[in-house]
Amino acid sequence: MSKRNAYHVTIASLFPGDVIRPERHAALYRQFRPGGPMPAPDFIANLLWELALEAARAAGAPNKPSRLASVYAWETLEAARLFRERRGPEAAILAVEFGSDAPLHRGDFDLISSGNPTTAYVDYMSETAARYWLDPPVGIVVTLPPTSIQL
Q: Are residues 60 and 129 in contact, defined by beta-carbon separation less than 8 angstroms? A: no
d(CA 67, CA 142): 11
Distance CA 74, CA 142 (A): 5
Which of 111, 100, 112, 103 minimizes the C-alpha distance to 61? 103
Per-residue pLDDT of the chain (151 residues; tens, 9 = 90+): 678 788 888 877 877 788 888 877 788 888 888 888 888 887 888 888 899 999 999 999 999 988 888 888 888 999 999 888 877 778 888 888 877 777 788 888 888 877 666 788 888 888 999 999 999 988 778 877 777 777 7
> How do the residues of the chain divide into helix, strand and coil, expressed in percent and rounded to 5?
40, 20, 40
Distance CA 38, CA 30 (A): 11
* E strand map for 48-131: 73-74, 92-99, 105-108
Q: What does the pLDDT read at residue 21? A: 81
- Angle among Cα 113, 91, 129 to the nearest 5 degrees reads 20
